[in-house]
C-alpha cells in the first residue's frame, strides 16, 4: 500500500480519486454557526462551482443546501462529492446526522486544522467565513477530514450519559467549593468537626437547617442531638459537644449579614442535593447500558466499576475504528509534545499535547488511578516511577493511564476478562525488543501483547502495517 504524509485516511481517499477527473470531484465545506451556516461547492482544481451562500440551520435551510449540492453534481456530472463540516462544539452534530441521513458522504474537520490551513495562505489574522471555507476546501482536496463516527444506539446513549454526568460532576464540585467558602463566613469552624462535612448525614442536616452559631449555642448538646434525630439521623454525644464548642468559639459576622448568607447557604445545599440525585440517576442509567456495550468487560479489572468502564467506553466508542491502541492513545491528546527541527530535539516530553478527546483523556487517567489503587502490579509500577525514576505524580499518573489503556483497549477488542496470572506472566517475561532509533522515546510500560488473541470473524481486519511486538504493547 502506498504511503502518504496524511496517513491511512489520506491514502484511502487518494486511492479513490487517483484516476478521476478533478473537475468532476467536488468538495462542499460547511462553516457552522449557532443559527446559520455558510457553504460553497468547489472542484479538486480549486474552482468554485457554487459561490459561498448562507443557509439557516433548520430543515428548510438544509434542504436548500441539498438542492445546491445536487445541482452542482448534475452540472459537473460529479463522480465523487464530499461534504466537510467543521466540528464546533455541539452545533455541528444535528447537521452531520441530517446530511448522513440524506446519503451524502460527510467528514468532520478539526478547527485547529482549518486555522492552520488558513495560516498557510498567510491569513492567520484575516479570519472570515469565506476564508475559512477556502481553507476547508483546500484540506478536503488533500484528503483531510475524518468520517463522522456513527455510533450504535447503546454507544450513543452511553456517550450522552457520560457527558451528562461529567457536566453535573463539574457543577457539583464548583458548588461544593462555594458552599465551603460561604460556610467560613456563616459558621467558621463547623467543617473542622467532621472529616467530610458534606458526606456526613448529620453535617448536611446542620448545614441545611440550623447553620447558625447562635442557634446551636441555644440548643445545646442534647437538644441538638434531638433536632438531628428528628430528621432520621443519629448524632453521637461527643460529636454534638464538639459542634456546640465550635459554635461558642466561632467568630461571627453581624447578625443581619449572617442571616442573608445563611439563607443562601441553605439554598446551595439544597441545590447540591439535586445535583447528587442527578449524578445517581446518570450512574444508574450507565449501569443499565453497560452490559450492551464493549466496555462491559472492563469491570473485571480491579478498581474499575461502572463509571470508569462507561467513561472509557464512551471515549473509545467502537474499538475497531482505531487501527491500534497507540492510535487511540494519540486521539486522547496524552502523547508528549514534540518540537524537532534541523536534527535537534527541543521540548520533547515536557507536556502532553492535549490535542484530542477530553473525555477519552480523562477516562484513561481515571482508568490508571483505579488500577494503581487496587492492582499490586500497577501500584508497584507507579511507585517505581516516582521513587526510582524520580517522576512527578502527574507524569506517573499519565504513564499508569497509558499502561491501563493498552490493557483495556485489548480487552475491549478480545472481550476476554482480566486474568491476573496471565497479566503477571506477560510483565515478568516480556518478548525480545528491537533496537530503537536514536532520540526515539522509550516504552513507558513493561506489558506485552499475547499472541493467542481470539479471532474476530465478524470484524474487518485493519490493512495498516502491523507493529512489531515490544514491551510497550499489550493485547490482554
pLDDT for res 462: 39
Percentage of the chain lying above the pLDDT 90 cut: 56
pLDDT of residue 382: 92
Report CA 282 to chain centroid distance, whole Å: 17
Q: Characterize the bridge pairing of strands 146-147 and 105-109.
A: antiparallel
The residues spanned by each domain of the chain are 18-147, 155-289, 294-428
**Cα–Cα distance measured from residue 106 to residue 148, given in angstroms and rounded to the nearest whole number:** 6
Residue with cell 491511512: 8
The CA distance from 417 to 294, in Å, is: 12
**29, containing H or E segment:** strand 25-32
Name which residue leads in pLDDT, 15 or 165. Answer: 165
Q: What is the CATH number of domain 155-289?
A: 1.10.287
Task: Give me the percent of the chain exceeding a pLDDT of 70.
Answer: 82
Confidence tier at 15 by pLDDT (50, 70, 90): confident
| Max intra-chain CA distance, the chain | 89
pLDDT at site 111? 77
> Would you place residue 126 in the very low, low, confident or very high pLDDT band (cuts 50, 70, 90)?
low
Ramachandran sector of residue 14 (left: φ over 0; alpha: ψ -120 to 50; beta: rest): alpha
Tens-digit pLDDT profile for residues 254-297: 999 999 999 999 999 999 999 999 999 999 999 999 999 999 99
Q: Which CATH number applies to 18-147? A: 3.30.420.40
Q: Please report the pLDDT score of residue 132 as a whole number.
A: 83
- pLDDT above 50 for 335: yes
Look at residue 454 and tell me whether its pLDDT is greater than 60.
no
Report the Cα–Cα distance between both ends of the chain, in Å, rounded.
29
Task: Please indicate whether residue 20 or residue 420 has the higher confidence score (pLDDT).
Answer: 20
- Which tens digits make up the pLDDT trace of 44-88? 998 999 999 999 999 999 999 999 999 999 999 999 999 988 887
Any idea what DSSP says for residue 263?
Answer: H
DSSP string, 424-449: HHHHHSPPP-PPPPTTPPPPS--B--
Strand 80-86 and strand 25-32: the pairing is: parallel
CA–CA distance, 441 with 253 (Å, rounded to integer): 58
Q: Which pLDDT does position 445 carry in this prediction?
A: 38
Q: What is the pLDDT of residues 362-409, one digit of tens each?
A: 999 999 999 999 999 899 999 999 998 888 899 999 999 999 999 999
109 — phi, psi (to 5°)? Answer: -115, 135
Alpha-carbon dihedral 379, 383, 385, 387, rounded to 10 degrees: 180
Among the residue ranges 15-19, 78-82, 196-200, 340-344, the one predicted with the least confidence is: 340-344
pLDDT level of residue 124 (50, 70, 90 thresholds): low
| Between 119 and 462, the higher pLDDT residue | 119
- The pLDDT, as a whole number, for residue 264 is 93
pLDDT value of position 29: 92
Q: What mean pLDDT, rounded, does the chain reach?
A: 83
pTM score of the predicted model:
0.76
Q: Which residues contact 231 (CB under 8 A, 6 or more apart)?
A: 205, 209
Domains 18-147 and 155-289 share a fold: no
Lowest average pLDDT, out of 156-160, 161-165, 442-446, goes to 442-446
Helices (H), 121-254: 129-141, 153-186, 201-209, 213-230, 237-249
Which 3 state secondary structure label does DSSP give 470? coil
Q: Is residue 475 very low, low, confident or very high in pLDDT (cuts 50, 70, 90)?
A: very low
Residues 6+ away with beta carbon under 8 Å from 294: 313, 316, 318, 319, 412, 413, 415
**pLDDT score at 128:** 67
Q: Is the dihedral of CA 226, 232, 238, 241 positive or negative?
A: negative
Amino acid at each position: 500500500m502506498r504511503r502518504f504524509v496524511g496517513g491511512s485516511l489520506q491514502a484511502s481517499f487518494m486511492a479513490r480519486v487517483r484516476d478521476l477527473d478533478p473537475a468532476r470531484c467536488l468538495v462542499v465545506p460547511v462553516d457552522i454557526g449557532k443559527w446559520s451556516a455558510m457553504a460553497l461547492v468547489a472542484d479538486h482544481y480549486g474552482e468554485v462551482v457554487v459561490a459561498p451562500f448562507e443557509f439557516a440551520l433548520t430543515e428548510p435551510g438544509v434542504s436548500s443546501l441539498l438542492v445546491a449540492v445536487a445541482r452542482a453534481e448534475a452540472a459537473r456530472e460529479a463522480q465523487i462529492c464530499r461534504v466537510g463540516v467543521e466540528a464546533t462544539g455541539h452545533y455541528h452534530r444535528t447537521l452531520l446526522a441530517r446530511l448522513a441521513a440524506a446519503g451524502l458522504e460527510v467528514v468532520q474537520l478539526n478547527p485547529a486544522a482549518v486555522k492552520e490551513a488558513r495560516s498557510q495562505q498567510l491569513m492567520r489574522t484575516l479570519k472570515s467565513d469565506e476564508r475559512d471555507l477556502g481553507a476547508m476546501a483546500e484540506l478536503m482536496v488533500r484528503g483531510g477530514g475524518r468520517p463522522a463516527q456513527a455510533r450504535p444506539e447503546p454507544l450513543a446513549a452511553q456517550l450522552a450519559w457520560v457527558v451528562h454526568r461529567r457536566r453535573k460532576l463539574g457543577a457539583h464540585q464548583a458548588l461544593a467549593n462555594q458552599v465551603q467558602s460561604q460556610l467560613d463566613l456563616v459558621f467558621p469552624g463547623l467543617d473542622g468537626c467532621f472529616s467530610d462535612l458534606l458526606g456526613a448525614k448529620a453535617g448536611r442536616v446542620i448545614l441545611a437547617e440550623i447553620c447558625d452559631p447562635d442557634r446551636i449555642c441555644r440548643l445545646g448538646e442534647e437538644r441538638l442531638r434531638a433536632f438531628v434525630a428528628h430528621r432520621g439521623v443519629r448524632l453521637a454525644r461527643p460529636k454534638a459537644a464538639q459542634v456546640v464548642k465550635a459554635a461558642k468559639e466561632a467568630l461571627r459576622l453581624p447578625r443581619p449579614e449572617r442571616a442573608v448568607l445563611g439563607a443562601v447557604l441553605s439554598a446551595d445545599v439544597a441545590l447540591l442535593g439535586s445535583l447528587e440525585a442527578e449524578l445517581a440517576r446518570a450512574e444508574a442509567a450507565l449501569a443499565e447500558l453497560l452490559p450492551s456495550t464493549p466496555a462491559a468487560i472492563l469491570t473485571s479489572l480491579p478498581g474499575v466499576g461502572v463509571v470508569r468502564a462507561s467513561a472509557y467506553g464512551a471515549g473509545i466508542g467502537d474499538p475497531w475504528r482505531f487501527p491500534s491502541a497507540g492510535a487511540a492513545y494519540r486521539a486522547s491528546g496524552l502523547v508528549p509534545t514534540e518540537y524537532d527541527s534541523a536534527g535537534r530535539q527541543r521540548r520533547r516530553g515536557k507536556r502532553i499535547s492535549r490535542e484530542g478527546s477530553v473525555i477519552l483523556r480523562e477516562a484513561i487517567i481515571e482508568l490508571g488511578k483505579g488500577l494503581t489503587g487496587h492492582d499490586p502490579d500497577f501500584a508497584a509500577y507507579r511507585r517505581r516511577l516516582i521513587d526510582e525514576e524520580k517522576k512527578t505524580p502527574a507524569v506517573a499518573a499519565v504513564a499508569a493511564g497509558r499502561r491501563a489503556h493498552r490493557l483495556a483497549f485489548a480487552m475491549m477488542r478480545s472481550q476476554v476478562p482480566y486474568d491476573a496470572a496471565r497479566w503477571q506472566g506477560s510483565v515478568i517475561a516480556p518478548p525480545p525488543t528491537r533496537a530503537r532509533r536514536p532520540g526515539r522515546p522509550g516504552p513507558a510500560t513493561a506489558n506485552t501483547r499475547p499472541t493467542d488473541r481470539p479471532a474476530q470473524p465478524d470484524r474487518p481486519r485493519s490493512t495498516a502495517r502491523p507493529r512489531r511486538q515490544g514491551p510497550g504493547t499489550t493485547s490482554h
